[in-house]
Amino acid sequence: MSAEASDSEAAVTGAGERWAPVGAVANPEDERGGQSPAGRGGAPAGEEAEMATRLRRLEDEHEQLHSSLLALTSHFAQVQFRLKQIVHGQDEEQDRDSMLRELEEFAFRGCPHVLGCRAPHALQNSSEREKMERLEAQREKQKELIIQLKTQLDDLERFAYQEGSYDSLPQSVVMERQRVIIDELIKKLDVNLNEDIGNLTPEELRQRVDAAIAQIVNPVRVKEQLVEQLKTQIRDLEMFINFIQDEVGNPLLSDRGSGQQSRSDGPKPRGHGGVKQ
């Protein structure tokens, strides 16, 4: 009787509840609460952090391998390019020897390291001194990389221009000729822009150049205006001299003047002769 009563009470109390499926946890909160704190978050969190660290390390290694392969391929392509330039070039024997020496020097030169500023998380656990040393080393590597890439690009442009597959002049040749023109203009204008050219804006550079040109052009303009004024004064003086000469040297004007003088003097003797004593 007691068992039947308890079953009936359980049925009555659970009539309004929805039972969980067979095999499911009756109460998830009780199941989670029964675990120890160490079992709940200790081992899985540590394993997750370790997996994240390993994954990041593998990504860095993959990126480094990819970058190294790219640098090695580029270096080998440059060696092939220089060899082709020496073989197919029409230079003299002396130039060919110098190019071979340059090729030997380039072939034994190290490949550029293109991951100079990557992996910033590697500096998090370092001291300030180590960070500064690594940053300085990265800057030096970046400078070397820029120089090597510029050299390779210049060699490629020169070879393509010599072969006829590149229409315009190489950028280094254009910049060299522009530099010659700029140096000559600086000498003629007596202006120095090399010291603070990196700190000036394009508008400030334009103003400096205009001021330097004005120092040369303005005196010339003043001289030209002075010459024009002198020419005008000389023309006016010539016209005045011609007018004076015409007034003095015209015979009609001189005869007319003498006739007027005789008529004015004629009646006076007749007036004195008509008076009788």
Looking up tokens 């103003």 gives 207
Token pair 């003498």 in the structure block, residue = 258
Q: What is the pLDDT of residues 151-181, one digit of tens each?
A: 878 887 887 787 777 788 888 888 899 889 8
Q: What is the mean pLDDT of residues 207-222?
A: 81
**Across residues 138-150, what is the average pLDDT?**
83
Return the pLDDT at 232: 92
pLDDT at 124 over 60: no
Residues, the chain: 277
List, for residues 67-116, the tens digit of each pLDDT value: 788 778 877 877 887 787 777 766 677 677 888 888 888 777 777 665 55
Q: Which residue has the higher pLDDT, 39 or 259?
A: 259
Calpha distance 146→152 (Å, rounded): 10
Q: Are 115 and 64 in contact (CB under 8 A)?
A: yes
Can you give the pLDDT at residue 142?
83
Q: Considering only 50-64, 77-91, 112-126, which range has the smallest mean pLDDT?
A: 112-126
pLDDT of residue 2: 46
Considering only 31-40, 210-219, 246-255, which range has the smallest mean pLDDT? 31-40
Amino acid 268: pLDDT = 52
Residue 260 has a pLDDT of 55
Q: What is the pTM of this model?
A: 0.42
List the single range of 39-48, 59-68, 230-239, 260-269 with lowest mean pLDDT: 260-269
User: Given a cut of 90, is residue 234 above it in pLDDT?
Assistant: yes
What count of other Cβ atoms lies within 10 Å of the Cβ of residue 32? 10
Instruction: Kindly report the number of other CB atoms within 10 A of residue 84's CB atom.
Output: 12
